[in-house]
Structure 1
Amino acid sequence: MLFQLAIKGLLVALLAFTIVWVSGDRNKYRKLLWVTLFLTFDLIMFGAFTRLTDSGLGCPDWPGCYGHANPLQAHASISAAEAAQPTGPVTVVKAWIEMTHRYLAMGVGVLIIAAMVVAWRGWIKSRRSDMRFSPWFPTMLFVFVCIQGAFGAWTVTLKLQPVIVTIHLLLGMGLLAMLTWMAARQSEHAPIDASVANLRIPAAFALLLLLFQIALGGWVSTNYATLACMDFPLCQGQAWPNMDFANGFTLWRHLGKTADGDYLPFPALTAIHWTHRSFAFVVFAFVGWLAFRALEVGGLQKTARWLLAMLGIQLATGLLTIYLNWPLALAVAHNGGAALLVLLLVMLNYKARIPAQTAAKPAATRLSTAQFN
C-alpha cells in the first residue's frame, strides 16, 4: 500500500516536473518553486473543499483507505460503512475526495524534497558561494511539511478534533507563506523606494493579524459554526447575542462536544462565529490602511492594488456566504481568498526588505570573495 501511495505522489509531482522542464525559464529552480507554490495553493483550496463537504473522514484511517491505496480497492469496506450509516461520514464520493486531497499533498511533499535537493546540490557545487541556493530555508521547509503531514494524520485519527484541524489549516497557510518567500527570493523585482522601510513593522503586524483571523475562520469551519449568525451586521437580530465564550473557545475537546463531553450548546457556536466576524473588521481596516500606504511607495503599487482588490473580494464572499445560506462554492472561494491575502502580504513583507538586502549585498559579496579566492 505504501509503495502504491508513493507512486501516486510521484505521478502528481511528475506533472509539475514536466511543466518546469518544458518551461522557457532558464532558472529551473525558480520555476520549480513557483510551480510548487501554485500546487500548494491548490492543495489549500482542495483541503477547504474536503473540510466543507464533510469528507475529512471519508477514509477513516491513514495514510490509505481501509488499508488500501485507493477507494476503488476499498470499495467493499466503504459500501458497508455507507450502508450501516447512510448519512455518516463515509461514502464513496467522500472517500475519493479525501484520497485525492492526500495524493495532492504527497505530490507537494515530493516537490519540496526536490527543491531541497536542488538547493543543496547548487550550494555544494558553488562551494557555498551562491546565495541563491542557500539550503537552510528549503531544509526548514522540508521539516515544516513533515510536521504538516503529521497533523494531517492526526486530523483523521483524532476524528476531526477542532484544534487539530485548525492547526492543520494554519500550517498549510504557513507552508504557502514560506514558499512565497522562497519564490520571491529567486525572482527579480522592480526598484523599491527607500521609504518602504516605514512599512516593515506594519506589514509584519498585518500578516500576524491575518493569520489570527484565519485561525478564527478555521475555528468557525471546524466547529460548523458558519450558520450560527444568518443576518448582518447584527447576529440573530442583536448586536450582542447570547454567547458562550467559555465552551466555544475551549481548545482541547472533541468535535461538537464540550470539554466535559456534553453537546456543544448553540450559544458557543454563536460566540465562535461572532468573534470571527467582529475581528474581520479589525483586519480589514488595518490591512486596507497598509495597502493605501503601500500605494504611495514606488515599486509597491501593483502589490498594493492586488491587496485592495482581494480585501474587497474577501469581504464580498464572506457576506454572500451569510446571505446566500452558505453555498459551497463561495465558502471554498472564501478560503482561497484568505490564502491569496497571505501570499500578497508575504510578498509585501519581502519587498519591504529589498532595499536593506540590496544595500547589504555588496558587503556579502566582498566577504564571499575573500573567503573563496
Structure 2
Amino acid sequence: METVQPSADRTARIRARYAKLVAVTMFLTFDLIMFGAFVRLTDSGLGCPDWPGCYGKASPIGALHDIHAAAAAMPEGPVTLSKAWIEMVHRYAGTLLGILIIAIVVMAWRHRKALAQSPWLATVILPAVCLQGAFGAWTVTHLLMPAVVTAHLLGGISLLALLTWLSARQTVLPDIPGEAGRWWGYAAFGLALLYTQLALGGWVSTNYAALACMDFPTCHGQWVPEMDFHGGYSILRALGELPSGEIISQSALTAIHWTHRNFAFVVLVYLGWLALKLRRYDGLRGPSHALLAMLGVQLLTGLTSIFLQWPIVIAVLHNGGAAVLTVLCVTLLVRLSRVRRAPDYRARAF
C-alpha cells in the first residue's frame, strides 16, 4: 500500500483522530464487559437460543411469535422478550466493536508513516475480536458451558488489555526515572496474578457459585470447609453438571467460591505492595494511586456481594472493577516497558 509523507499539520490531525478512535473502541470494550456481566447475571445468555440472529430474525421484533411460544411453553425458562433484547443488544454492540477495530486496522496501515508506529499491534487485535465473536456464538450453541463462557469473559478482558496497550502508544511517555525499569518483571507477574484471579472469578460467575459461601471470613462456619475440587474444576462439562452428568454438588461449588475468595487476598496484597513501590516514581504515581483505590473498591464490592446475596448492580460493578484493574496494570506495564527500551536505560538505572 503506497503512502505519502504527510505535512506536519495533517500528521497531527491523523494522530489525534487515531487516538480518539482507539479510545472510543477501548471504552466500548469496557462497556461490553460490563454488559456481558449483566447478560450473565440476568440469565439472558440464551434469550435468543440461536446465533447470530434471534430465531433467524435480525431482532426480537421479528421473532415475537417464537419468543412468546417459548416463554409460554417454559414460563421459568431462559427465553423471554426482555432477555431476548438484552442478549441481542449485547450482540449489536459486539458487532459495532468489530467494525471499529476494522477501522483501527485500516487506519493503522494506511497512515503508518504519519503515526510513526508499527501497525502490527492493531492488526493482532482484529483476529482477537473475531475469536471473541466465535466464543460468543459457542456460548449459545454450547448452552452456556462454563469453560466457553469463562473463555469468552477472558477474551473480552484480553481485548481490553490490547486496546489499552495500543492507546498507551498514542500518548507521550511521562518522565519516568530509569531506575523504575527494574520493576517491569514485578508488574508483569502482577498482571499474571490478576489474570489468574480473573479466570477464577469467571469460573465462579459462570458456575453461579457466588453464593456458595454466605458467611465471611469463614465459609459454612469453617476456615477450610468440605470441598470437591475435582468436581468444581472439571473443565469439560455442562452447566450445573459434573462430567458424569450428575448435578454439581454443593461441595464442588464451595471449592470454586473458596478458591476465588482466598486467592483474591494474594492478588490484593501483591498489587497493593507493588502500587506502593511504584507510586514514588514520577509518571507512575497516578496509575499507582488509582490501582490502590480500585483494589479497595474491588474488595468492597466482593464482600458486599456476599453480605447482600449477590445483587445484580454490585455484581456488575465487581466485574467492571476487574476490568479497571486490568487497564491500570497494563498501563503500568507499558510505561515500564517503554522506560526499559529507552537507549540510556542502563546508564540511568545503574
**Range with greater deviation from structure 2 (26-35 or 239-248):** 26-35
1:305 maps onto 2:289 in alignment: yes
Q: TM-score, normalised by structure 1?
A: 0.87
Which of the pair has the greater relative contact order for Cα pairs under 8 Å at 6+ separation?
Answer: 2
Contact 1:295 1:304 in 2 (8 A): yes
Q: CA deviation at 1:195?
A: 1.7
Name the counterpart of 1:68.
57
Distance 1:224 1:100 in 2: 23
1:218 maps onto 2:202 in alignment: yes
Name the counterpart of 2:88.
99
Distance 1:70 1:30 in 2: 33
Name the counterpart of 2:279.
295
Per-residue Cα deviation, 1:191-213 (whole angstroms, up to 9, x for no partner): 11112112100100000100110
Contact 2:15 2:115 in 1 (8 A): no
Query: Any stretches of 5+ residues in structure 2 without a counterpart?
Result: 1-12, 346-350
Contact 2:302 2:318 in 1 (8 A): yes
Distance 2:237 2:313 in 1: 29
1:168 maps onto 2:152 in alignment: yes
Secondary structure in structure 1 of the residue aligned to 2:211: helix
Residue of structure 1 aligned with 2:141, choices 149, 153, 157 = 157
Name the counterpart of 2:332.
348
Residue of structure 2 aligned with 1:82, choices 56, 71, 85 = 71
Contact 2:108 2:115 in 1 (8 A): no
Write the letter of the residue equivalent to 1:274: W
Write the letter of the residue equivalent to 1:84: A
Contact 2:233 2:256 in 1 (8 A): yes
May I ask how many residue pairs the two structures share in their alignment?
A: 333
Q: CA deviation at 1:298?
A: 2.0
Distance 1:119 1:133 in 2: 8
Per-residue Cα deviation, 1:12-64 (whole angstroms, up to 9, x for no partner): xxxxxxxxxxxx99610011001100010001000010011110000000000
Name the counterpart of 1:319.
303
Distance 1:247 1:87 in 2: 27
Query: Any stretches of 5+ residues in structure 1 without a counterpart?
Result: 1-23, 362-373
Contact 1:177 1:346 in 2 (8 A): yes
* Cα pair distance change 1:132/1:42, threshold 3 Å: farther
Give the root-mean-square deviation of aligned CA atoms: 1.4
Distance 1:242 1:55 in 2: 32
Q: TM-score, normalised by structure 2?
A: 0.93
**Range with greater deviation from structure 2 (52-61 or 193-202):** 193-202
Name the counterpart of 2:10.
none
Q: CA deviation at 1:247?
A: 0.4
1:147 maps onto 2:112 in alignment: no
* Cα pair distance change 1:131/1:190, threshold 3 Å: same
Q: CA deviation at 1:110?
A: 0.3
Identity in percent? 56
**Range with greater deviation from structure 2 (190-199 or 208-217):** 190-199
Name the counterpart of 2:111.
122
Write the letter of the residue equivalent to 2:177: D
Contact 2:287 2:332 in 1 (8 A): yes
Distance 2:121 2:174 in 1: 24
Q: CA deviation at 1:190?
A: 1.7
* Cα pair distance change 1:51/1:42, threshold 3 Å: same
Q: CA deviation at 1:297?
A: 1.6
Write the letter of the residue equivalent to 1:49: F
Name the counterpart of 2:41.
52
Write the letter of the residue equivalent to 2:106: V
Q: CA deviation at 1:295?
A: 1.0
1:330 maps onto 2:314 in alignment: yes
Contact 2:37 2:316 in 1 (8 A): yes
Q: CA deviation at 1:115?
A: 0.1
Secondary structure in structure 1 of the residue aligned to 2:248: coil
Distance 1:95 1:115 in 2: 30
Secondary structure in structure 1 of the residue aligned to 2:272: helix
Name the counterpart of 1:268.
252
Contact 2:213 2:219 in 1 (8 A): yes
Distance 2:222 2:342 in 1: 53
Q: CA deviation at 1:188?
A: 1.6
Secondary structure in structure 2 of the residue aligned to 1:284: helix
Secondary structure in structure 2 of the residue aligned to 1:100: helix
Write the letter of the residue equivalent to 2:42: T
